Every structure is written in structure tokens, then in C-alpha cells.
Chain A
Amino acid sequence: MKSKQITGKESGSSIREFLITALIKAAGYSAILFVGMIFFFLLLESFPALREVELSNLLSSRWYPIEDYYGVLPLVGGTLIITIGATLIALPFGIGTAIYLSEIAPRWLRDTLKPLVEVLGGLPSVVLGFLGMLILSPYLRIWLDIPTGLSAFAGAILLGGIAIPTVVTVAEDALDAVPKSYRDASLAIGATEWQTIWRVTLPAARSGVLTAVMLGIGRAIGETMTVMMVTGNAPILPTGLKNLFSPVRTMTATIAAEMGEVANSSTHYHVLFLIGIILFLISLAVNVAASAVVFRQKKSQGHILS
């Protein structure tokens, strides 16, 4: 009945079919267009910076743009140290929570907890920064006995928190998408649930879990308002783990704090775009590396499934 209706009503409208297909195809390719456009624009606006500022200045360790000190290394270092800290927090907690929710928790608990974790992802970063500034950083100062709680560590904790929901959501979806038959088979041949999780479910969902981690790291690198409010923003070049407990300035916070001020097309304006493109390239590198793994994984999985 139903199928007859479908064919009867719309057969012969091949032009429409063609147009729609073309539109869909265009939409499909739009992502490449946008990435290209973003890259092009950042490049265009940052190129003059390379001409106007000497390389030795750009690679110095002093960032003080109103006096023409444009050393970007402290900013890159600040972003790196916070991202590493945040990843160390988000990775175990994120994946652990995802496994618990998908494989261990009873259904009602999962259906309660997963939305709750996603709430954290929904918490606007301004709200977290606000709480971090007023509550977290004072306690950090007292507990860790450091001169000020406005530090890379405060940023790492909050960014870890911001990355966790992304990791949990995507990883849990990936685990959930593993067919039940895989688990049944594993249990049937006598494996414990724990073994099934580690030897069957997790490997089967590996690409999704990896994507989850990468997306989480991406969110940590890119987070702006929170770090601006809790890390103190002092452009000190981090030289070791001890800098985790001192103030740092990230690339994102620098752009957000200074872009509003600069005159269009000034040197400072172009240098901020240069920082933008550095951020862009870092996320590009991270993601291309990740997707290379994902694609390789997909291929080998294909062999198993077919």
C-alpha cells in the first residue's frame, strides 16, 4: 500500500531529484569551503604581521603589544600547558564515565546521569569562569599555598570539566553503537563483563572514543572566556611543570582581550590574526592526526565485519 503511494505520487520528477541531489552535494562540500575560507582569511589578515614584525621579535619570550613586543612563545606555551593539564583530567574521567554509563550502569541510572553530564557541557563557559574566579581560585591559593590561585592549574581544572561532557557524550554514543551481538558473543564464550568491555566493546568503539578525546582536547584548546577569567593572563613562558601553578596567558585569552582594542589593520591587529592562524594550525594538526587513526581503524574494522 504505502510503497505504491510513494512511487505513484512522485515518479517522473527527475529534474527535482537532480536539483535536490545537487543541493545536497553542495551542502556536503560546504565544510571544505568553510575551512578553506577561514584559513584564507586568517592567512590574509595575518600575512602583514610577518612583514611588519621581525621574526626574532615574534619568537621572543616577551608579549607586550602596546610597546611592540610581539613574542608569541609565552602564549603558545600557556595554551599548551593548560591543554595538557585539562587532557590529563578529562581523559580518565571522561572515558571512565562513558564506560560506566554505557556498560555498567542500570538503564534508569544512565538515563539520569547522562543528561546530567551533558548539563556540564551546557554550562556556559562564562558561568564556569565566574565561579572559578570567585570560588575555585581562592581555595587553590590556600590549599596549594601558592601566591595566587589565578593560575594554569585553575584553568586546567575548569577546562578538564568543560571537555568531560564532550568526551562522555561522544564516547558513550560510540560504545552504545556497538551491536549487542558482539557483547553477547563474548559473554557466551565465558568472558566476564569486565573482559568484554576491554577486549570487545572498547576496541570496537575505538574510533568513536578517539574522536571523543580529540573533540574534548579541541574544546580545551579553544576555550576562551573561562581561561581569561581564571588564569591571571600573565604572559610568562612556561619552562616546566612548576608553571602549572603560576599564572599563564593563553592564545585564546589574548585574542579575546585585545582584539576589541586594536585599530583595524594595525600591526597589533595582524599579529592577533597570526595567533589565530597558529591556533587554527594546531587544531588542524591534532585533528588530522586523529582522523588518520580513525580512517585506518575503519578500514581494519571493515575487514572484520565483512
Chain B
Amino acid sequence: MDFLVSVQLSQYNLYVQNIKRLLVLTFIILLAGCSGRGISAQDPSQQIKIIENKGSDTIVNLALAWAEEYQVIDPTVQLSVTGGGSGTGIAALINGTVDLANASRRIKEEERNAALENGSDPVEFVIARDAIAIIVNLENPIEHLTLQQISAIYSGAINNWKEVGGEDRPIVRLSRETNSGTHVYFLEEVIRLGEKDNHTLFAQNTLLLPSSEGIGAEIRQNPNAIGYDGLGYVTDEMKVIGVALADGEPYIFPSARTVNNDQYPIARDLYMYTNGEPEGVIKEYLDWILSSEAQEIVTELGFVPITK
């Protein structure tokens, strides 16, 4: 027994040695990481300022592209960009944890009140515009729909493509999650046709996908599906539907031109909110965003630049 114990002990020592080596290695990596960052942070000539930017998933890619570009223009400013939804960004602005909130919808009355109670006063900037494209599978023969038809499809009144002149197929409705500003906009302006006292809801079997890519993936392979998404998310693997305001009106396809001349009926503004009037680096950043240089990036990403 004694012998056995000592044999096992030597094994144990081997294990302990290995663990020690592992720990030392970890420590070295950590130290290296810390010292590397320490040098850059201590450089006195470059006082890094951080702008926290959070909110709408619709805007997050645009905000990211801006942030990357701005890093080149002014390396002393670091932008941290996070998505999560328009409400998330505004909530964070109210709590004072971010400097800039991205929103694909206007701030709600109750959110503004909550902000005022918390001693912050959100100021609104329109930073770009977005067309919401109605998309279907490439195999779907449907070319265009009226707003009323889209509303009827999404509210569950129309359940088969043949009712709008298509093939005999069930309709699978795709929507973004309820936390998306796009979802709210679609509900108010398309399903309820912009009518204030209209309380129509999404059909209960509408698929709520957590992301634009989820919608894209399903549209690409499912000929039953219909979806909607920001123009920036549309690729040539899906078919964009022409939309008419009403029966008899012209069918318009979404583009920068049809959005800016108000022809395309499903378009909206995209916003950034600051806590009080912006100052210093935040103001500089916002000014740059509204410049034609930054608005070019808007076009590149498939959104609609604001025209001054």
C-alpha cells in the first residue's frame, strides 16, 4: 500500500508540474497582453477619447462602417459600436451608458419621459434613410403587390399565393423580431396602412426571425416565403417586389431615387440620438456623418443618403 501511494504521488507531482507550467504560460500571455496595451494607453500625445454607440440592428453595419472610416480620419477617437435593437440603444442612452443611440424609429413618448426623469434630454438627428423592400424567392412569379395586398397577407387574410395571382402555394410570412424598429415600422405603416386607429396585428403564424440574415436565408431557398427588410440587406439572390400605394397606382421599386422623391411608399428615416446637444468629439463625429463623404458610405451599404 505504501508503495502504491508513493507511485501515485509521483504521478500527482507530474500533474502538478504540468498545471504549473500551464499557469505560468497563461500568466506570460496575460502580461504580454497587458503591457502591449499599456504602452499605447500611456502615450501622452494621444489622449484616446471613446464614443459609445449602440442601438438599432438595421443601422449597426452602417455605424460600424462609419466608425472604421472615422478611425482613419481621427485616430484619437475610438468608437465602440453595439447592436441590440433601437430600444436597447435608447434605453442605454437613458441610463447614461452610451453617448450615441442608433434608432430605426423615432423615440417613443414614454422613452422621452423616462429620459427626462433621468435628467437626460435626447436630441434627434436624421442620419440616413432606408427603404423597406418586400422580398420573395426568385422562383416566385409575383412581380408586384399593392400595399393593401401586403397588409392582407401579413394580417392573415390572404394565405395562398394564388389569391394575389401567383402559384397555388401556401404563404410563409417572415418578419423581423418585435425588438426591431423595422418590425414596428412595418406594423404601423404597412399592416395598419398608417391608420392610427387600426389595430390589425401580424398573423399569429408569422415567423419572427431574429435577424435579417435569417430572413434572407429562408427567402433564398423557400418559394413559399415572403419577407421584408431594409434595402441594404437585399442581395441579388432574392426578388424585390414593386409596391403600389393602391390598386391602379404605379408599382414602384425601391431605390435611392424613388425614396428621396417620395415615390416608394415604404421608406423611413434612420436616427441617432445624443444626450443633450452634442459637444466636442461627439459633435465632430455627427457633423462628419452628415457630410457628403460619410453619406457616400450610406449609398455603398445600400441605404439612402439624406439630401440636404
Contacts and interface: CB of A to CB of B under 8 A. Distances in A.
A149 B222 CA distance: 9
Contacts of A67: 199, 201
Contact of B217 (A3, A133, A263): A133
B184 A66 contact: yes
B155 interface: no
Nearest to A265: B114
B9 A2 contact: yes
Interface in A260-302: 260-264
Given A2-B6, A257-B210, A150 B218 contact: yes
Interface in B161-187: 170-172, 177-179, 183-184, 187
Interface residues of B, number: 41
B222 A148 contact: yes
A247 B218 CA distance: 13
Contacts, number: 98
Interface string A205-242: 00000000000000000000000110011111000000
Contact of A257 (B170, B177, B206, B222): B177
Contact of A247 (B9, B85, B205): B205
Interface residues of A, number: 37
Contacts of B170: 147
Contact of A228 (B179, B210, B224): B210
B73 interface: no
A62 B204 CA distance: 8
Nearest to B187: A66
A235 B187 CA distance: 17
Contacts of A229: 210, 214
17 contacts: A1-B2, A2-B5, A2-B9, A3-B2, A66-B183, A138-B222, A150-B207, A228-B210, A234-B207, A247-B207, A249-B208, A257-B178, A258-B177, A258-B178, A261-B178, A263-B90, A263-B91
Interface of B: 2, 5-6, 9, 84-88, 90-91, 94-95, 111, 114, 170-172, 177-179, 183-184, 187, 199, 201-202, 204-210, 214, 217-218, 221-222, 224-225
